[in-house]
Structure 1
Amino acid sequence: MKTTPVEELFNVLNESADLLQQELDCTYLEALAKTGENIFQQSILQKIESEWTGKRLKKIYEGLNLDHFSKEEIRKSFQLAILKGMKESVQPNHQMTPDSIGMLFGYLLNKFMKQNSYRILDPVVGTGNLLTAVMNQELNKQIEGIGVDIDDLLIKLAYINANLQEHPIELFNQDSLEHLFIEKVDAVIGDLPVGYYPNDIRAADYELKADNGHSYAHHLFIEQSIRHVRPGGYLFFLIPNGLFESEQAKKLHEYMMKNVYIQAILQLPESLFKNKQNAKSILIMQKQGEQVKQPKEILLVNMPSLTNGSELEKILIKMDRWINENKSC
């Protein structure tokens, strides 16, 4: 059976990563980052003791021409390899936003972001999969990406991911809730990490800090993102369904009323998640500004299964109609 381009490239990444993992005695994800760098630099950058391994790697790399693959094929191949590596990883923060959600994010940005060029920030960029999935749906526009993540391995994979796809993405390896030395962006996306932020001293700089105990990290990420988007800019977040039901929700709601207009809440189908407790929605907000108006009504949608073509089409038509009637700028 003939392999698809995604399978073909995955096989290259996987075999070379396996070889480097054994040779260098490192994790699969570390080896994947190394083989990605080798492919990008068109050279074996590591010291290989085994003559057979060196020859095999050389043959694999020489047989690969990245020009034969689209950006999206490269992203999907790299994603498959990362998912394989994450299965053997015990770190709970090594998670990836599902592809179907990435496609939906891209669709939404295409509808809301009408300008031909813009800057976009992902403050929880991880491996860069969500950010590049969005950028790959906007190939007719000039987009500059910015990604921030505290995990040095994930940011390394994001760096490789961006290089292989030839996307202009600036990456910062730091705590995203510390000071970000970036200019204001036109849009923010993010799969918000849910939980408590352990640094109470840093949290004290935020309006959304908890009155007692640790603050919610996802609340602080929302505030940090609003700080770094220009007036009139948009924010697209994957949020827990219970975001507005927690004991700290009142303060979050008051902060948002002062700073943004909620545009839409799209509740995703529960079938996308392992259990109902993990179910999430997409929250779309616009930062307040001189030319920005509050929508007549918030778009509230219960998304059908993303494989149900006819029902999905009805929802997308409804969303298009809402955007045409309510989008202020």
Structure 2
Amino acid sequence: MSTPVERLFMLFDRTAAILQEELKCSYLEAVAETGENLFHEDVLQEEVSELSQKRLKKEYKEIQLETFTNEEIRKSFQLAVLKGMKENTQPHHQMTPDAVSLFISYLVGKFTAKHLALTILDPAVGTANLLTTVLNHLPGKQVKSYGVDVDDLLIKLAYVNANLQKHPIQFFNQDSLQPMFVEHADVVVCDLPVGYYPHDENASRFVLKAEKGHSYAHHLFIEQSLYYTKEGGYLFFLIPNSLFSSDQAAELHTFLKEQAVIQGLLQLPLSMFKNEQAAKSIFILQKKGSNVKAPKKALLAELPRFSNKQVMQAMMRKIDEWFASEKNQ
């Protein structure tokens, strides 16, 4: 017997293949189209032949979305998106690994345990996999969320993904380093886009602009995110391990000292990455504010492999102890 995730993935896969053929588009674009059809329980593309329309409608009828959990929907849609990204790789089409998204969700839950209502922003939302994972693990809270991305196909996938999971996220298709029309957030989650930002004129508005040449996009994203965070709000970044050893690390360090307190830095297991240069960590900041106290000691750890349950549970206990001593004084 196939699992619910497999059943739903097979549906996305079969119907996307039909639409890819009919619409002469990429598999990834077809995934967005079929997700939208499934949500509306109809075939919305007028150029699809009558025969294919019948086949598609039959497929959609056989699936009752309300019988699936949000996580099942998210995972199956993510599998279809990953398949599409493998076929058509673009450097910025990378998805946050599931284990990392789940771990960030756990951290967001811990740091915001006392909040009843939250505003969450992901300024590099991609397909909204990270953002919807976090939303699926914040039960009982009133949450408003925003996602911003410059890539129009990714934002379409994000919007379909959110609709299928019934998350009312507001999406903006724009350069996130331009002024954003979003509320200031209690929480920012972001898998930082790493590299150079090509628009020097816009970069010149930022404190962390490069003195000469292009600025680092990931530095500007950190600054922009802090600007759009409320006083005392938390930021959870996925950062390259080289962040603090680059040629502009000193300026970043000075800026962070002025604007935020570092709550934690958790290094992800190297086994997750193709090579050491690609390795990342979870960096947790809190924006300064009148009631914000720096922790007596930041949460620093090298995380074990997520698949090693025993060692992982021991690590979670350590993190729980850190919260007990730091957050409940």
TM normalised by structure 2 equals 0.98
User: What is the correspondence of 1:253-272 to structure 2 with a 5 Å cutoff?
Assistant: 253-272=253-272
The answer to whether the 8 Å contact 1:143/1:168 transfers is: no
Distance 2:124 2:284 in 1: 17
Match of 1:277 in 2: 277
The answer to whether the 8 Å contact 2:9/2:80 transfers is: yes
Match of 1:305 in 2: 305
Match of 2:34 in 1: 35
User: What is the correspondence of 1:113-262 to structure 2 with a 5 Å cutoff?
Assistant: 113-114=112-113, 115-262=115-262
| Structure 2 gap segments, 5+ residues each | none
Distance 1:49 1:236 in 2: 43
The answer to whether the 8 Å contact 1:128/1:158 transfers is: yes
User: What is the correspondence of 1:15-30 to structure 2 with a 5 Å cutoff?
Assistant: 15-30=14-29
Cα-Cα RMSD: 1.2
Match of 1:83 in 2: 82
Match of 2:2 in 1: 3
The Cα shift of 1:90 comes to: 3.2
User: What is the correspondence of 1:280-291 to structure 2 with a 5 Å cutoff?
Assistant: 280-291=280-291
Match of 1:293 in 2: 293
Distance 1:273 1:26 in 2: 31
The answer to whether the 8 Å contact 1:261/1:285 transfers is: yes
User: What is the correspondence of 1:306-325 to structure 2 with a 5 Å cutoff?
Assistant: 306-325=306-325
Amino acid at match of 2:171: L
Q: Secondary structure at the match of 2:177?
A: coil
Amino acid at match of 2:101: G
The answer to whether the 8 Å contact 1:106/1:134 transfers is: yes
Match of 2:59 in 1: 60
| Structure 1 gap segments, 5+ residues each | none
The answer to whether the 8 Å contact 1:118/1:142 transfers is: yes
Query: May I ask how many residue pairs the two structures share in their alignment?
Result: 328
Distance 1:24 1:136 in 2: 33
What's the % identity of the aligned pairs? 55
Q: Secondary structure at the match of 1:242?
A: helix
* 1:89-141 deviations in Å (ceiling 9; x for gaps): 13211110000000100110010012122010000000000000111111322
Match of 2:99 in 1: 100
Distance 1:288 1:90 in 2: 39
Q: Secondary structure at the match of 1:286?
A: strand
The Cα shift of 1:48 comes to: 4.2
The answer to whether the 8 Å contact 1:10/1:80 transfers is: yes
Q: Secondary structure at the match of 2:188?
A: strand
Range with greater deviation from structure 2 (296-305 or 228-237): 296-305
The answer to whether the 8 Å contact 1:48/1:54 transfers is: no
The answer to whether the 8 Å contact 1:265/1:300 transfers is: yes
Distance 2:294 2:27 in 1: 48
The answer to whether the 8 Å contact 1:295/1:328 transfers is: no
The Cα shift of 1:297 comes to: 1.1
Distance 2:11 2:267 in 1: 38
Distance 2:78 2:27 in 1: 13
Distance 1:211 1:49 in 2: 53
| Residues 47 and 310 (structure 1), Cα distance of their counterparts in 2 relative to 1, 3 Å cut | same
| Residues 48 and 112 (structure 1), Cα distance of their counterparts in 2 relative to 1, 3 Å cut | same
The Cα shift of 1:239 comes to: 0.3
The Cα shift of 1:49 comes to: 4.6
